Amino acid sequence: MGDTGGDIVSRLASSSGPSMVIEELGYACTASKEYMKEVVGLMPAMEERELARLVGVLARTHSSLDVVKCGQTLTSLANAVGIAAPSPAALGAGTWNYDNAVDALREASPNLNWSTAMQMLDHEGFAVRTASRSRRSRACSPGR
């Protein structure tokens, strides 16, 4: 079963970082730009290095997350903090919605320098294993 809401809420405030939390919450948190903004708004402010880590997580976990476990964790978080639970359609998502993720991050953190963040992609944990990497790279490029 997924984490309890309290467990994930405590990690939101810890040093584990938003990228690790988003990975635990899974694809459903990018079902809409608004929902992703709401989830990101629960986390400490992000800097460029953390944005690079998050881009790495989104690329590395394109379609490899346990949808059921992540859905349970996201639902527990939503119940614990009083945000809307993800819709059944969102819980069934099998990949990230990159457009929603990028748009939400840009709006939630307008002062982030995406060019600087993309230069920081050389970090432990950044790996792209599928041919769809070029599509994700274009979605996250600063000129988008």
pLDDT at 7 over 80: no
- What is the extent of the structural domain holding 67? 5-140
pLDDT of residue 67: 96
- The arithmetic mean of pLDDT across residues 2-14, rounded, is 62
pLDDT at 48 over 60: yes
Please answer whether residues 46 and 18 qualify as being in contact, where contact means their C-beta atoms are separated by less than 8 angstroms.
yes
DSSP 83: P
pLDDT of residue 12: 65
pLDDT of residue 36: 97
2-11, 14-23, 48-57: least confidently modelled range? 2-11
DSSP 19: H
| Calpha distance 47→22 (Å, rounded) | 15
* pTM (predicted TM-score): 0.79
Instruction: Work out how many domains the chain is built from and give that number.
Output: 1
pLDDT of residue 24: 93
- pLDDT class of 18 with cuts at 50, 70, 90: confident
pLDDT of residue 1: 44
Tokens of 38: 């709401």
% residues pLDDT > 70 (the chain): 75
| Calpha distance 84→1 (Å, rounded) | 20
